[in-house]
Amino acid sequence: MTDTPRETQVLGAVVSLVDTLLVDFDVVDLLTELTEQCVELLDTAAAGFLLADPMQKLRLLAATSERARELELFQLQADEGPCVECYSTGQPISVANLAAERDRWPHFVSAAVEAGFASVHAVPMRAAGVVLGALGLFGSRPGELNTADLLVAQTLAHIACVAILQERAPTPATVMPQLRSALTSRVVVEQAKGYLRESLDVSVDDAFQLLRTYARTHHRHLTEVARRLMTEPASRPDILAAISELAYG
Amino acid sequence: MAIADHLLEAVDGRRGVDAADSLCEACVILLDIDAAAISLIFDGAAAGTLGSSGAPARAYDELQFTLGEGPCLDSVASRAPVVVVDLADPDDRRWPAFGPALLAQNIRGVYAMPVVLAGEYVGALDLFRKHPGDLDGDCLAGAIAAAEIAGIPLLDLLDADLQAAANDPTSNAWAELNALSRVEVSQATGMLVAQLNVDPAEALVRLRAHAYATGRSATDVARDILDRRLTLDAD
């Protein structure tokens, strides 16, 4: 634990994230970093960004943990759970005691409790009057987010929206293609994780960390590295050799 | 019922070119446009029309491959929608050959949404309209949904054997889109790319074909691949 007051920590995080927005950045990478900041600043155990796809179903764009069980919790929210409700109403939701909501979200609650979570929260992501998706937060202890927590969560969700829509001022006509493009980036990153798992015999979780580290140290976008791995067979040997070096030294 | 639901209904129980044609016909009925076609580009060279709302749509669409310019080519190259609100606008010189050729057919507005397969931008849904102007919000949302759905008939087309899918009257596009959007499926696709030395689209086709052949969900097959309980044979 650190003695730095939380206001200072929050401001530090916001400054660092907005700095990133002002230079060239990768949307999946930045949003993964945002989820990590959520966990640090909000006393939660896991966080993830869910975006609406063209069929208005929520899909996972980034999460703190790549562990299968936690990914499943975010993916379950395509059908039910706080993020779906938050997305459809546009309002934040804070559930202090998850176990009491079994009737409301039967599948989601049993999976979340089994994964060791006690509370769950969601704040909306919105731009141009359109709800884009939701930021989902899981706590390992019961308890609501207080007003200050909600404000921090909403600030981080706003930064995520700006990151996704940064190319131009959003209108309803431009928002949807950009959401779709961001989700497609995620598909390619997932493929690259599988590719590295198979090629280097590492876990999917480790594969993601290796891919991020490689992209950062080579000043390349995560998505661009993933796309090259998946669509340019000629680029693979060099990238694999460098990532293998990172993995095994 | 939302436009997206009607579009899904148009492809349910159909496969391949039949589903693509039906999707294009539904676009003409549901969106404020006069003709629709789904065209594909592979490796930037081989290209063609997968489905269309009818003979005129097919003719407009094929013209872009004859002339080497047009909405599908631009949409794939930019990985973004392409919108020309009025081909008759003298300031719009995007397509010096394709533009006048379509104007001669009384087409003024052209709108293209990229079609994405296994993360690759492989084609576009091309919409043509006789009157100029932007698509309104509902039409635009519908066009993007239709481009998303178009990935399903495309997978059929790439699956040469079509396995059990060929005569599956219960095929449900909604369920399939959901299954294929899951992270396990993308991760397993990446593993197959390494195992089989194929491109991601081919890997996804193989995963899906295995799911059909064994009567299991794509997600279950993907998990088995990820946990190394299942390997698919190279051809």
Reported as a pLDDT band with limits 50, 70 and 90, residue A4 is confident
Distance between CA atoms of residues B185 and A187, nearest Å: 9
Distance between CA atoms of residues A20 and B189, nearest Å: 31
Of A56, A75, A231, the CB nearest to B183: A75
Reported as a pLDDT band with limits 50, 70 and 90, residue B161 is low
Per-residue pLDDT tens digits for A141-153:
999 999 999 999 9
Paired sense of beta strands B35-42 and B120-129, if any: antiparallel
How much is the pLDDT for B169?
53
Q: How much is the mean pLDDT over chain A?
A: 90
Range list for CATH 3.30.450.40 in chain B: 3-157
Lowest mean pLDDT among A13-22, A90-99, B106-115: A13-22
- The candidate with the shortest Cα–Cα distance to A18, out of A3, A5, A33, is A33
- The candidate with the shortest Cα–Cα distance to B84, out of B95, B69, B68, B97, is B95
Reported as a pLDDT band with limits 50, 70 and 90, residue A44 is very high
Instruction: Determine the distance in angstroms separating the CA of B182 from the nearest CA of chain A, rounded to an integer.
Output: 7
Residue B172 clears pLDDT 50, i.e. is over it: yes
A168 exposure class (CB count in 10 Å sphere: 0-12, 13-18, 19+): exposed
Please state, in angstroms and as integers, the Cα–Cα distance from residue B168 to each residue in A3, A79, B12, B16, B172, following that order: 63, 25, 10, 12, 9
Q: Where are the beta strands (DSSP E) in chain A?
A: 46-52, 58-63, 93-95, 119-127, 130-139
How much is the pLDDT for A168?
58
Distance between CA atoms of residues A39 and A48, nearest Å: 10
Average pLDDT over residues B196-219: 91
Residue B164 clears pLDDT 50, i.e. is over it: no
Beta bridge partners of A62: A49
Reported as a pLDDT band with limits 50, 70 and 90, residue B124 is very high
Per-residue pLDDT tens digits for A5-25:
888 888 888 888 888 888 778
For residue B76, give the 3-state DSSP assignment.
Answer: helix
Q: Does A60 touch chain B (CB under 8 A)?
A: yes
The answer to ipTM > 0.90 is no
Lowest mean pLDDT among A155-169, A173-187, B161-175, B182-196: B161-175
Helices (H), chain A: 6-21, 27-42, 68-76, 82-89, 106-114, 147-164, 172-200, 204-217, 222-231, 236-248
Average pLDDT over residues B26-40: 95
Distance between CA atoms of residues B22 and B20, nearest Å: 5
Please state, in angstroms and as integers, the Cα–Cα distance from residue A206 to each residue in A36, A67, A178, A194, B190, following that order: 16, 10, 28, 11, 15
Distance between CA atoms of residues A58 and A61, nearest Å: 9
Amino acid letter, A183: L
Distance between CA atoms of residues B48 and B50, nearest Å: 6
The two structure tokens encoding residue A207: 């594969």
Average pLDDT over residues B162-185: 70
Quick check: A194 and B189 in contact, CB under 8 A?
Answer: yes
Quick check: B117 and B155 in contact, CB under 8 A?
Answer: yes
pTM: 0.79
Residues of B in contact with A60 (CB under 8 A): 183
How much is the pLDDT for B16?
85
Range list for CATH 1.10.10 in chain B: 182-226
CATH number of B182-226: 1.10.10
Instruction: Determine the distance in angstroms separating the CA of A159 from the nearest CA of chain B, rounded to an integer.
Output: 23
How much is the pLDDT for A76?
84
Residue B141 clears pLDDT 70, i.e. is over it: yes
Reported as a pLDDT band with limits 50, 70 and 90, residue B88 is very high
Of B79, B145, B188, the CB nearest to A55: B145
Reported as a pLDDT band with limits 50, 70 and 90, residue A179 is confident
Average pLDDT over residues A21-35: 87
Neighbours of B187 (CB within 10 A): 30
Reported as a pLDDT band with limits 50, 70 and 90, residue B133 is very high
Quick check: A147 and A126 in contact, CB under 8 A?
Answer: no
Distance between CA atoms of residues A153 and A174, nearest Å: 25
Q: At what angle do helices A172-200 and A147-164 cross, to 10 degrees?
A: 90
Phi/psi for A65 (5° steps) reads -115, 140
How does A20-45 read in b/e, with b if 16+ C-beta sit within 10 Å? beeeebbbbbbbbbbbbbbbebbebb
Q: Does A227 touch chain B (CB under 8 A)?
A: yes
Per-residue pLDDT tens digits for A68-94:
678 888 888 888 999 999 999 999 999
Beta-sheet strand order (sheet of A93-95) = A58-63, A46-52, A130-139, A119-127, A93-95
Residues with Cβ < 8 Å from A19, sequence gap 6 or more?
A: none
Sign (positive or negative) of CA dihedral B133, B139, B141, B146: negative
Q: How much is the mean pLDDT over chain B?
A: 89
Residue B223 clears pLDDT 80, i.e. is over it: yes
How much is the pLDDT for B212?
86
Residues of B in contact with A181 (CB under 8 A): 79-80
Residue B174 clears pLDDT 90, i.e. is over it: no
Reported as a pLDDT band with limits 50, 70 and 90, residue A27 is confident
Quick check: B117 and B204 in contact, CB under 8 A?
Answer: yes
Of A180, A184, A192, the CB nearest to B190: A192
Residue B46 clears pLDDT 60, i.e. is over it: no
Assign domain B3-157 one CATH number from 3.65.10.10, 1.10.3720.10, 3.40.50.300, 3.30.450.40.
3.30.450.40
Quick check: A52 and A179 in contact, CB under 8 A?
Answer: yes
Check residues B24 and B2 and name the one with the higher pLDDT. Answer: B24
Instruction: Determine the distance in angstroms separating the CA of A152 from the nearest CA of chain B, rounded to an integer.
Output: 28
Lowest mean pLDDT among A68-82, A110-124, B33-47, B161-175: B161-175
Residue B104 clears pLDDT 60, i.e. is over it: yes
Distance between CA atoms of residues B9 and B6, nearest Å: 5
- The candidate with the shortest Cα–Cα distance to A88, out of A127, A129, A124, A120, is A124
Q: Note the Cα A156 to chain centre separation in Å.
A: 11
Q: Does A129 touch chain B (CB under 8 A)?
A: no
Instruction: Determine the distance in angstroms separating the CA of B73 from the nearest CA of chain A, rounded to an integer.
Output: 17
Reported as a pLDDT band with limits 50, 70 and 90, residue A2 is low
For residue B50, give the 3-state DSSP assignment.
Answer: strand
Residues of B in contact with A195 (CB under 8 A): 190-191, 193-194
Of A197, A204, A230, the CB nearest to B119: A230
Check residues A77 and A208 and name the one with the higher pLDDT. Answer: A208
Second-level CATH architecture of A6-169: 2-Layer Sandwich (3.30)
